[in-house]
Amino acid sequence: MKKILITGGAGFIGSHVVRLFVNKYPNYQIVNLDKLTYAGNLNNIKDLENKANYSFVKGDIVDADFISNLFATHKFDAVVHLAAESHVDRSISNPLEFVMTNVIGTVNLLNAAKTNWKDDYSSHRFYHVSTDEVYGTLGETGMFTETTAYDPHSPYSASKASSDHFVRAYHDTYGMDAVISNCSNNYGSHHFPEKLIPLSIHNIKNNKSIPIYGKGENIRDWLWVEDHARAIDVIFHTAKTGTTFNIGGHNEWTNIDLIHLLCKIMDKKLNRSEGESAKLITFVKDRAGHDLRYAIDSSKLQKELGWVPSLQFEEGLEKTVDWYLSNEDWLNNVTSGDYKKYYEQQYTKR
Ligand code: NAD
Ligand code: DAU
């Protein structure tokens, strides 16, 4: 019997992690803590609402007293920490929000864990979910390994790098059992449509322009979100304390090639003639400080813990498109209200 706090479980990746843990481990009690920001959505985990081993708590990790009380009440055995501000463009216009949630929020969780676990770190674990963006950017060759030096460029990646350092500091200084994983770009269902793939699906469907930053030559390394959740499961249960694992699918795409593939799939799904969706591609002003290329070497995870990605990108992208086309209500719900304001601010000035 284990009681596990998962933070950010109403978001994109968190909802997949919560689902996997609740369904795979009926003997665990999963407490999902989420502030329900614009990115958090209880509809993402509606199927779990009535499960006996699941409960939801609305709250803010920046509120130290609230976090301290939550730990005192629940006596968690472990934490899987995903709650974060996650969008690079938003971090460029509002860095402080990222410092608050990603840095202060993480330290609040670490402090509460320390207070409650300090007499017995060996039976507790703090798992911190991080990103490959902490490593900075690559040129045309090479890959990020677990020993690549941190070199973050955006306020988002700087805040994630800082939180990683704090997690390591609590392991090295206090002896807390902590593990970290750094993953590449995820894609799949329930992805908020401010990010490249869901935003493009939404725009193509509505015959709106697809905004590509710069020349579309930046490269990202895409991983099916359920494969990320499976990796988190394996690392959480089997990694040695104090270790770090890179997670990625060896699946690099330039943004423009990815969007052409997506347009081809959308043409087929929407019964459009070939090439029709691609006419919506519009090159817009580049993102400030835009990292050129990410590529993850996940061989340590594959060799030491036996994890392998399960899905080819073309198949995963088609499944993703199918999910968005058959979940119109979800998409309409999250793109009403504040989303429209964000979209105007972010894209009309470009
Ligand atoms: P997301 O933005 O979809 O979800 C974040 C969740 O955190 C939301 O449900 C939100 O309500 C919640 N949250 C935000 N601030 C909070 C606060 N102060 N207190 C409590 N809850 C709060 O993000 P995501 O894409 O699912 O990313 C989840 C984690 O994985 C993040 O830590 C991110 O850095 C990391 N990550 C993401 C990717 C990716 O491709 N999306 C890749 C690697 C790592
Ligand atoms: O690498 C992991 C990271 O991947 C995560 O840590 C972040 O939380 C997640 O948001 C993601 O960051 P990116 O900045 O890579 O994702 P995004 O979908 O915003 O952008 C992907 C690429 O597409 C990037 O090169 C910028 C470009 N882009 C993005 C948007 C939103 C466009 O060309 N046009 C757009 O409108």
pLDDT in tens, 117-164: 999 999 999 999 999 999 999 999 999 999 999 999 999 999 999 999
Q: Is 285 within a domain?
A: no
Determine which one of 54, 127, 156, 343 is catalytic: 156
pTM over 0.85, yes/no: yes
- Tell me the per-residue pLDDT of 196-255, one tens digit each, with 9 for 90 and over: 999 999 999 999 999 999 999 999 999 999 999 999 999 999 999 999 999 999 999 999
pLDDT score of 161: 99
- For the chain, what is the domain count? 1
H helices present in 75-181, as ranges: 88-93, 95-98, 105-117, 155-174
Indicate which residue of 60, 85, 132, 291 is catalytic: 132
Of the pLDDT bands very low, low, confident and very high (cuts 50, 70, 90), residue 348 is confident
Q: What is the pLDDT of residues 191-204, one digit of tens each?
A: 999 999 999 999 99
> What are 47-61's pLDDT values in tens digits?
999 999 999 999 999
Q: Are residues 132 and 152 in contact, defined by beta-carbon separation less than 8 angstroms?
A: no
Question: Average of pLDDT values for 164-183?
Answer: 98
Minimum CA distance residue for ligand 1 atom 44: 131
Q: How far apart are CA 42 and CA 10, in angstroms?
A: 6
Tell whether 179 is covered by a domain.
yes
207 lies in some domain: no
320 within some domain:
no
Q: Read off the tokens for 137.
A: 């950017």
CA 217 to chain centroid: 23
The CATH number covering residue 64 comes to 3.40.50.720
The protein residue whose alpha carbon is closest to atom 19 in ligand 1 is: 60
User: What range does the domain containing 309 cover?
Assistant: 3-191+223-252+294-314+339-347
| Six-digit token string for 85 | 């501000």
pLDDT band (50, 70, 90) for residue 335: very high
